[in-house]
Amino acid sequence: MSQSHLHTIIEPANKRQFINLKELIRYKDLLYYMVLRDVTVLYKQSVLGFLWAILNPLFQIVVFSLIFGKVAGISTGNPNLPYPVFSCLAVIPWTYFSSTFTASSNSLITTSAIFTKVYFPRMIIPMVPIFSKLVDFFISLIILLGVMFFYQYVPGKNVWLFPIPLFIIIITSTGLGFWLSSLALQYRDFRFAIGFILPLLMYVAPVAYPAAKVQQQLGDTAYHLYALYPMVGGIEGFRSSFLQSQPFPWTLVATSGAVAIFLFITGALYFKKMEKHFADVA
Amino acid sequence: MSHNQQQHIAVAVSNLGKAYRIGIAEQKEENLISAMIKSIAAPFKNFIKIKSLKNIQSNTQGKDVFWANRNISFEVQQGEVLGIIGKNGAGKSTLLKMLSRITEPTEGRIELYGRVASLLEVGTGFNPELTGRENIYLNGTILGLTRKEIEERYDSIVEFSGIEKFIETPVKRYSSGMKVRLAFAVAAHLDPEILIIDEVLAVGDAEFQKKCLGKMQEVAGKQGRTVLFVSHDMAAVKKLCTRAILLQHGTIIQEGTPNDVVNYYLLNAASIANGNEVAFEHAKGNKKFVIQQVELLNEHGEVTQIAESGKDLQIRLFYQVHEKGPDPVVILRIRNNLEQVLFTCLSRNSYHGIMQLNQTGSISCIIPKLPLLQGVYSIDVVLKFGQDITFDIESAFNIEVEKGDFFGTGKLNNDMQNGMIIYHSWSME
């Protein structure tokens, strides 16, 4: 093999470090095999296997439909829209978000044995759950098909727009993953905080109720501010794209999308800035 | 330095240093509350900081700062095999971590010319649930190979590991030896221009180790690759390396041919054998007859800090008699790292006649062909006048033993540690 002309300089970085995209691309296979590892290992030695990806959101949908749909009698905002379809369209993307949120935030702590022994772009670590949980997400779409079939509900014409809110959810999870994984590695408090913040985040997001309810009850200003929480545009946008009667909430999605991108970029920069301390604090 | 020479440098390290804050790593708070308190206190701290700016590097000279490495400078030419030796805690691992970009230096600079692979551990990232084949790909990509590169090397990796039959079995069903074989097989196929390698040869069975040493020699010698090699295995350093450096307290204290550096290390490395003086004061017994200092001497009668397996060792005890007594007895109990007593040197049985003591003096216990494997052993010292215990101290001092050629066969006891070795031989009819 010919001598490569690679020249690496290692010195204390006083300047801001920029994200080395070239290096990230060179390590794309590592991301691939780490995702593959997560997917293969998750359901090994379990009897139900990938059924778990369905059971978890399914139970939530049943409970939500009973408690919020029947007992609390929350309206879906449309008499033709059965509550189970409504809740299914929010619980499935929310399950994806909450599982990536937890896994990504803890990712540096759980893989410290690896990155304290080998160098590779650490940014890959919080990105792994973002991809591996997508597998669960797509499997759980089976529930959506089942529920829609059961209620004879045909998706509306905006259905092709659903990748946009899904992308917002992915970007938000990744951005939060960058932020929280590096914070949790330094301050273990975050690990505990994540556990109780997650349910709160769910109540705030339009999972059990439509976002329009916020507009009705709290007014227009509150509604626009509401969209600053990126899961509002993510969840409401995802649900709306499947519904016949509802226009796609472009303003919500645009605001949430902008916040999501902001979270992603600042998260990546913060992660990069803190990266050099990781091996010392792990 | 001429342009021509410069072209052949593979690694250049200049004034490298790494400081840790003791207790608090690198200016980071361990929890949010203390970070918040710190941020409230930040204006005051900044004030003090600005005031102390006159002091050069004031932020890295406090009492809470520990320099794991400092002022390290060396160059490695292409094709050289550099051995890095030193006791535990001398800063070898930190140096390797900086060279492999795991942790960032606090000061100084490293330049690496060529593709680098570092091996601080074999089998990093191995997942027990995955099969051998899956782990080859995972471990390979962690070590910096691409999928394509692994595919090209796959057959050769499997063959080298010698576990073809189990390649589709989950690694959790492997024996530890098999895991090491597989992991090393991946590592051996990294094919870097610069290989940074920690004491990974200390694991695995002897036969496989030989194969790995061979592979390393092949990497270093035939292909003109550069190797940086940290080891406690003095014989391997002498055999494999073209040059060696000795680290102590985070800096290089000796540099030269492997033979010179290893010998210097064995004779002079930081004091391990010197007993713990505080502990000596707290010895049990009536103190009529006590030990004040301990010294180790090698086969040439030179004071040494580290013993070598299979070489004569002399343990010299400097005593003092505060009050005379009859029938002095010296007992040395040698314990392994599990605190088990391996053997006892009891002067009542092994000393010819009765010991005659002066006011002060020394008693030496000579152990020919030290029958201890590589490891650290602690020694209990008990002194008696007849049945009266005058001085009794557990773990009075430690002896660090390095590997050696015990049987004179040119082979080392690579796979054995922390135990005894008994001379024996074989015959064939």
Domains in chain B: boundaries: 24-63, 71-268, 277-402
Give the CA count within 13 Å in the CB-facing half-sphere of B262: 24
Lowest pLDDT segment from A250-259, B99-108, B198-207, B389-398: B198-207
Q: pLDDT value at position B75?
A: 94
Q: Which of B26, B35, B99 is nearest residue A277 as measured by Cβ atoms?
A: B26
How high does pLDDT run on average in chain B? 81
What span, in angstroms and rounded, lies between the C-alpha atoms of B315 and B304? 10
Hey, is the C-beta of A186 within 8 angstroms of any chain B C-beta?
yes
Interface of B with A in 23-42 (CB under 8 A): 25-26, 28-33, 35
Q: pLDDT value at position B306?
A: 84
Measure A38 CA to nearest chain B CA, in Å: 10
> What would the mean pLDDT of B108-126 be, rounded to a whole number?
87
DSSP H or E stretch at residue B106:
none
Hey, is the C-beta of A71 within 8 angstroms of any chain B C-beta?
no
**Domain residue ranges in chain A:** 70-281
Hey, is the C-beta of B129 within 8 angstroms of any chain A C-beta?
yes
> Which residues of A are less than 8 Å from B20 in CB distance?
280
Q: pLDDT value at position B188?
A: 80
Q: pLDDT value at position B273?
A: 40
**Percent over 70 (pLDDT), chain B:** 81
Across the interface, whether the CB atoms of B102 and A117 are under 8 A apart is answered yes
Specify the 3-state DSSP secondary structure of B149: helix
Specify the 3-state DSSP secondary structure of B240: helix
CA dihedral of residues A156, A157, A161, A165 (deg, nearest 10) = -20
Across the interface, whether the CB atoms of B101 and A186 are under 8 A apart is answered no
Lowest pLDDT segment from B193-197, B234-238, B422-426: B234-238
Q: Which of A11, A30, A120 is nearest residue B105 as measured by Cβ atoms?
A: A11
Residue B58 has pLDDT above 70, yes or no: no
Task: List, edge to edge, every strand of the sheet that includes B303-304.
Answer: B303-304, B289-297, B313-321, B360-367
CATH H superfamily, domain B71-268: P-loop containing nucleotide triphosphate hydrolases (3.40.50.300)
Interface of B with A in 143-202 (CB under 8 A): 143-147, 191, 193
Q: pLDDT value at position B134?
A: 94
What span, in angstroms and rounded, lies between the C-alpha atoms of A219 and A221? 6
> What would the mean pLDDT of B262-272 be, rounded to a whole number?
64
Residue A31 makes CB contacts below 8 A (sequence gap 6+) with: A124, A127, A128, A131
Q: Of A204-208, B48-52, B183-187, B357-361, where does the model show the most confidence?
A: A204-208
CATH H superfamily, domain B277-402: abc- transporter (atp binding component) like domain (2.70.50.60)
Q: pLDDT value at position A16?
A: 55
Residue B209 has pLDDT above 70, yes or no: no
Q: Which of B115, B118, B134 is nearest residue A118 as measured by Cβ atoms?
A: B118
Lowest pLDDT segment from A212-216, B121-125, B126-130, B329-333: B121-125
Across the interface, whether the CB atoms of A118 and B146 are under 8 A apart is answered no
Residue B267 has pLDDT above 70, yes or no: no
Number of H helices and E strands in chain A, helices first, is 13, 1
Q: What angle do CA B124, B127, B130 make, to 5 degrees?
A: 135
Per-residue pLDDT band at B429 (split at 50, 70, 90): confident
Across the interface, whether the CB atoms of A10 and B107 are under 8 A apart is answered no
Residues of chain A with pLDDT under 70: 1-5, 14-17
What span, in angstroms and rounded, lies between the C-alpha atoms of B383 and B385? 7
What span, in angstroms and rounded, lies between the C-alpha atoms of A159 and A78? 18
Q: pLDDT value at position B148?
A: 95
Residue B36 has pLDDT above 80, yes or no: no
Q: pLDDT value at position B203?
A: 55
> What would the mean pLDDT of B341-353 be, rounded to a whole number?
90
Task: Output the pTM of the full model.
Answer: 0.74
Q: What ipTM describes this predicted complex?
A: 0.89
> What would the mean pLDDT of B48-70 be, rounded to a whole number?
57
Taking CA atoms, B110 is separated from A16, A72, B84, B237, in Å, by 19, 65, 16, 23
What span, in angstroms and rounded, lies between the C-alpha atoms of B126 and B199? 18
Query: What digits encode the pLDDT tens for the residues B131-151?
Result: 999 999 999 999 989 999 999
Here the tokens at position B150 are 């692994």
Residue B51 has pLDDT above 70, yes or no: no
Q: pLDDT value at position B397?
A: 81
DSSP H or E stretch at residue B401:
strand B388-402
Measure A74 CA to nearest chain B CA, in Å: 39
> For testing the chain A interface, which of B66, B67, B78, B101 should be mutated: the one with the most A CBs within 10 Å?
B101
> Which residues of B are less than 8 Å from A11 in CB distance?
105, 108-110
Query: What digits encode the pLDDT tens for the residues B61-112?
Result: 565 678 889 999 999 998 888 999 887 678 888 999 999 999 889 899 999 9
